[in-house]
Amino acid sequence: MPTAFITGITGQDGAYLAKFLLGKGYHVIGMIRRSASSDVIGERLRWLDVLDKVTLVDGNLTDLSSLIRLLQEHKPEEVYNLAAQSFVATSWQQPLVTGNVTGLGVVNMLEAVRIALPEARFYQASSSEMFGKVQAVPQSETTPFYPRSPYAAAKLYGHWMTVNYRESFGLHASSGILFNHESPLRGIEFVTRRITDGVARIKLGLKDRLTLGNTAAKRDWGHAGDYVEAMWLMLQQDAADDYVIATGRTASVEEFCRLSFAAAGLAMDDYIHTDPALLRPAEVELLLGDPGKAARVLGWKPRVSLEELAAEMVAADLKRLSR
């Protein structure tokens, strides 16, 4: 039974990855930060019915000693670094925390692998936000980066350090440049869940409008459950490399709204309200990924359509709120 070590296991991607790896016969070790909210920290794992099937251990990306200790103790064959301060809007308010966790935290994890377990295969969760003010459409592995937020800049540092450790120390270290990927487990602060939760509340008579910021921004949205398979496939390759993971389809926030309202049998235009206070200081207007390399080398392709994704998220929020 192979062992996988996942940081950020209680997040959306970590939960889906844990379920996927358990299905492959892995022993899954998940690192969590010590929290006073430990009674609810595993809710996403519980939603997927895997909380009692994984081993949770205490550690922190900002504490190198804890990372080395955990790798020495559990000796995983695969290490997936998914933990981060991952909300873009918060990164302007907490740029130092974002830099320490989302940027330097990656180097701590890489250094722990290099020191304690250099034969392990390492995955870094990079982000399409690194493309920022896009220099080409669509964006591929060779498109220049132009980050537009502290989050994106921190992710870019972690991305290039992963490349550096691969080239300097021979680590099997790969980065997945993942475009937006959503699910019923997405945090309520993210725009897709803000939309589907709002639609569900309107449908149930709990509120009468949905307030959003920039509805013209376009993103390439896929399903997190599809994207974690790509993470695993990267670590099964003989050589480590970097891959764009995307659907190749872009849609505006407004279009995602329309699909979500339609899934609930509602007309969007009756309920949308825009608030300039929700606009970003520097907006990323268009993201559209080219997943051609992932298709050719990994044999990966997305399965869930945008329409299916929106409908699944609305149905999950209706179920939550109906309780």
Any residues with CB less than 8 A from the CB of 167 and at least 6 apart, and which? Answer: none
The two beta strands, 3-7 and 27-32, are parallel
Total residue length of the chain: 323
pLDDT score at 37: 60
Largest CA distance in the chain: 58
Q: Are 70 and 76 in contact (CB under 8 A)?
A: no
Task: Report the CATH number of the 187-219+250-287+304-322 domain.
Answer: 3.90.25.10
Q: What is the pTM of this model?
A: 0.95
Percentage of residues of the chain with pLDDT beyond 90 = 89
Peptide bond into 138 cis (omega under 30): yes
What percent of the chain is modeled with pLDDT above 70?
98
Specify the pLDDT at position 81: 98
DSSP string, 33-69: ---TTTTTTTHHHHHTT-GGGSEEEE--TT-HHHHHH
Over residues 270-301, the pLDDT tens digits come to: 898 888 887 778 788 999 999 999 999 999 99
β-bridge mates for residue 78, sequence order: 4, 121
Whether the per-residue pLDDT at 36 is higher than 70: the answer is: no
Predicted pLDDT of residue 274? 86
d(CA 76, CA 4): 5
User: Active-site positions?
Assistant: 127, 129, 151
- Please state the rounded mean pLDDT for residues 176-202: 96
33 pLDDT band, cuts 50/70/90, is confident
pLDDT score of 39: 64
In the structure, what pLDDT confidence band is assigned to residue 38 with cuts at 50, 70 and 90? low
Residues of the chain with CATH 3.40.50.720: 3-181+221-245
Say what the pLDDT of residue 41 is: 80
Averaged pLDDT score across all residues of the chain: 95
The sign of the CA dihedral 313, 315, 318, 323 is negative
What per-residue string of b and e applies to 23-36 under the rule 16 or more CB within 10 Å gives b? eeebbbbbbbbeee
pLDDT in the model for residue 95: 94
Collapsing DSSP states into helix, strand and coil, what is residue 308? helix
Q: Which CATH number fits domain 3-181+221-245: 3.40.50.300, 3.40.50.720, 1.10.287.130, 3.90.1150.10?
A: 3.40.50.720
Between 162-171, 227-236, 283-292, the lowest mean confidence (pLDDT) is in: 283-292
| 167 three-state secondary structure | helix
Q: Which of 223, 201, 220 is nearest to 210 (CA)?
A: 201
> pLDDT tens for residues 233-280?
999 999 999 999 999 999 999 999 999 999 999 999 889 888 888 777
Give, in order, the Cα–Cα distances in Å from 235 to each of 25, 75, 243, 300: 16, 16, 12, 13
- Which tokens hold the place of 305? 């359509």
Instruction: Give the residue range(s) of CATH 3.90.25.10 domains in the chain.
Output: 187-219+250-287+304-322
pLDDT of residue 123 exceeding 60 = yes
Measure the CA angle with vertex 42, ends 210 and 68; round to 5°: 120
Strand partners, 139: 289
Higher pLDDT, 38 or 92: 92
Place of tokens 């994106």: 152
Give me the pLDDT at residue 35, please. Answer: 67
